[in-house]
Amino acid sequence: MPISKKNQLIGIDVGSHSIKIVEIQDTKKGMVLKNFGIIGLPQEAIVEGSIKEMEIVSAALKNLLKNLKIKNKNVATSISGYSVIVKKITVPKKERADLEQSIQGEAEQYIPFDISDVNLDFQILTPGKEEEEEQEEEEKEEFMDVLLVAAKKDIVEEYISLLHLSEINPLVLDIDAFALQNAFEISDHEQSGCHALVNIGAQQLTINVIDYGVSIFTRDSAYGGAQITSEIQKKLNISYQEAENIKLGAKPIENEKRPIIEDIFTTGVSNWCQEIKRALDFVRSTSPNIKIENILLSGGSSLMPGFSKYLGLETDLKVEMLDPFPNIEIREKTFDISYLKYMAPQAAVSIGLALRYIGDK
Ligand SMILES: Nc1ncnc2c1ncn2[C@@H]1O[C@H](COP(=O)(O)OP(=O)(O)OP(=O)(O)O)[C@@H](O)[C@H]1O
Ligand SMILES: [Mg+2]
């Protein structure tokens, strides 16, 4: 008994390590998982968020769509990385239509790229609980906060081309950080208060700090599991795939080489922890009244042995895995539940995308 069927979108997360596809169906009884699939990509097919091997990535995507027998051609996808900028800016209070006219001029000073090279979008923010208390009456009347999103046109065009080449319609282009927020919002995790969402993939570390439902800080940095795999490859002089297998514990390794691997793990994981700590310290310094309550992890590399414990010690915060599934019905007849549970961290962004509807921005 599907409702609003024609408005639903397929969520496609094109990561540098793999493409993830999720289809969720709204029914009278709630959300039901209809499809989930993942397909690996060769190393270097996507580098720093840019698609280097368009044909290869498109072939993989088409393959996955075919295997999953997906009929709906309307999709939501996302981009991330240095070519996406999200900033909270303060502008003189005005109507939405007026802001649409003037946003280009307002944004110029905050964007490190030529303004004609970016696509701009914005959202007028209603003040969070803490901020509202902080704001002076006078200020409240004259200014408003706006969340500015700028994405470099060449990257946007790459992703649109990929989807066209794969014979599907890109109807929503999101960013990873917001897709993550969507997945968090449908979860059973506490929503009130301030929570740091952290997704670590193969090449990208995404942070989105949510305060009472409002994103107050996002950052993408070039950290991820591929660095650890490359380091193993270099140090042991083996292929990338062999190094990946050693990293994941799927290939045994001689005892004398164990300390080398352990050293690479510790250095990599500790770099990620420092990056997260720096970001959270920045949030605390700019919003001193905010108390971050916990960190919710997702992304394949958040499963690195010891990482979550180390992050807890470094930040002095409770670290948990983000579980996006509890309010999505998963039918045992259709899915292997333990496999899905194992894949949940990697699926977070694609689940967030599959929650989008036609007409969403
Ligand atoms: N159990 C595990 N332990 C450690 N690392 C893992 C595990 N499972 C997956 N990974 C690593 O997670 C990464 C893939 O995660 P994910 O699917 O989130 O990345 P992606 O979305 O493809 O990449 P991007 O960073 O470009 O978004 C790979 O580097 C992979 O080696
Ligand atoms: Mg990713």
User: How much is the average pLDDT of 182-200?
Assistant: 97
Residue ID of nearest Cα to ligand 1 atom 7: 300
Average pLDDT of the residues in 85-108: 90
Tell me which of 84-98, 154-168, 169-183, 308-322 is least confident: 84-98
Supply the CATH number for residue 215's domain: 3.30.420.40
Q: Each residue of 236-246: pLDDT tens digit?
A: 999 999 999 99
Rounded CA-CA distance 316/326 in Å is 27
In this prediction, residue 137 carries a pLDDT of 54
Tell whether 134 is covered by a domain.
Answer: yes
Q: What pTM value is reported for the model?
A: 0.93
Given the CA of residue 200, which atom of ligand 1 is nearest to it?
A: 18
> Is any atom of ligand 1 closer than 6 Å to the C-beta of 15?
yes
Q: Is the pLDDT of residue 135 over 60?
A: no
More confident residue, 228 or 130: 228
Residue nearest to atom 15 of ligand 1 (CA): 300
131 pLDDT higher than 60: no
In a domain, 241, yes or no: yes
For the CA of 226, the closest atom of ligand 1 is 29
At 247 the pLDDT is: 97
| Percent of the residues in the chain that have a pLDDT greater than 90, as a whole number | 85
> pLDDT confidence of 142, banded at 50, 70, 90?
confident
Q: Is ligand 1 within 6 A of the CB of residue 350?
A: no
Residue 50's pLDDT is: 94
> Is residue 166 within 6 Å of ligand 1 at its C-beta?
no
Quick one: average pLDDT of 326-355?
95
The stretch 159-184 carries a mean pLDDT of 96
145/208 same-domain check: no
- 207 and 312 in a single domain? The answer is yes
Determine if ligand 1 sits within 6 Å of the CB of residue 304: yes
Q: Is 177 in the pocket of ligand 1 (CB under 6 A)?
A: no
Res 217 pLDDT > 50? yes
Q: Which of 100, 125, 150 is the last residue of a domain?
A: 150
> Does the Cβ of 35 fall within 6 Å of ligand 1?
no
Report how many domains make up the chain: 2
Of 19, 44, 301, the one to substitute when testing ligand 1's pocket (max ligand atoms within 8 A of C-beta) is 301
What is the whole-number distance in angstroms between the Cα of residue 202 and the centre of ligand 2?
7
Asked if the structure places residue 72 within a domain, the reply is no
Q: Are residues 314 and 206 in the same domain?
A: yes
Model pLDDT, residue 34? 96
Does residue 267 have a pLDDT over 80? Answer: yes
In a domain, 161, yes or no: no
- 281 assigned to some structural domain: yes
Task: Flag whether 229 is in a domain.
Answer: yes
Domain boundary residue, one of 288, 305, 322: 322
Residues 91 and 144 in one domain: yes
- Ligand 1 proximity of 226 Cβ (cutoff 6 Å): yes
Same domain assignment for residues 216 and 103: no
Please state, for a pLDDT cut of 70, what percent of the chain lies above it. 94
Query: Which residue segment(s) compose the domain that 94 sits in?
Result: 84-150
For the ranges 13-27, 89-103, 139-153, the one whose mean pLDDT is highest: 13-27
pLDDT above 80 for 134: no
User: For the domain that residue 117 is a member of, what is the CATH number?
Assistant: 3.30.1490.300
Return the pLDDT at 326.
93
Distance 130 CA to ligand 2 centre (A): 31
pLDDT of residue 305: 94
Say which range, 36-40, 101-105, 304-308, 352-356, has the weakest mean pLDDT. 101-105
**Measured from the CB, is residue 221 less than 6 Å from ligand 1?**
no
Q: Which ligand 1 atom lies nearest to the CA of residue 49?
A: 26
Can you tell me the mean pLDDT for 219-223?
96
My answer on whether 107 and 198 are in the same domain is: no
Binding site membership of 18 for ligand 1 (Cβ less than 6 Å): yes
Ligand 1 lined by 306 (C-beta under 6 Å):
no
From the CA of 18, give the closest atom in ligand 1.
Answer: 22
User: Rounded mean pLDDT of the chain?
Assistant: 92
Residue 1, pLDDT > 50, answer no
Mark whether 114 and 208 lie in a shared domain.
no
Residue with CA nearest ligand 1 atom 1: 303
Say what the pLDDT of residue 132 is.
55
Residue 93 in any domain: the answer is yes
Same domain assignment for residues 201 and 306: yes
Tens of pLDDT, residue by residue over 45-71, are 999 999 999 999 999 999 999 999 999
Same domain, 135 and 198: no
Verify whether ligand 1 is closer than 6 Å to residue 299 (CB atom). Answer: yes
| 193 and 94 fall within a common domain | no
Note whether residue 178 is domain-resident. Answer: no
For ligand 1, whether the C-beta of 248 sits within 6 Å is: yes
- What was the pLDDT predicted at 4? 47
pLDDT recorded at residue 358: 80
Q: In this predicted model, which residue has the larger pLDDT, 203 or 130? A: 203
Residues 202 and 293 occupy one common structural domain = yes
Top mean-pLDDT range of 119-128, 141-150, 242-251: 242-251
| 133 and 226 fall within a common domain | no
Query: For a pocket test of ligand 1, which of 346, 349, 350, 351 has the largest count of ligand atoms closer than 8 A to its C-beta?
Result: 346
- Residue where a domain stops, chosen among 150, 167, 201: 150
Q: What is the pLDDT of residue 188?
A: 97
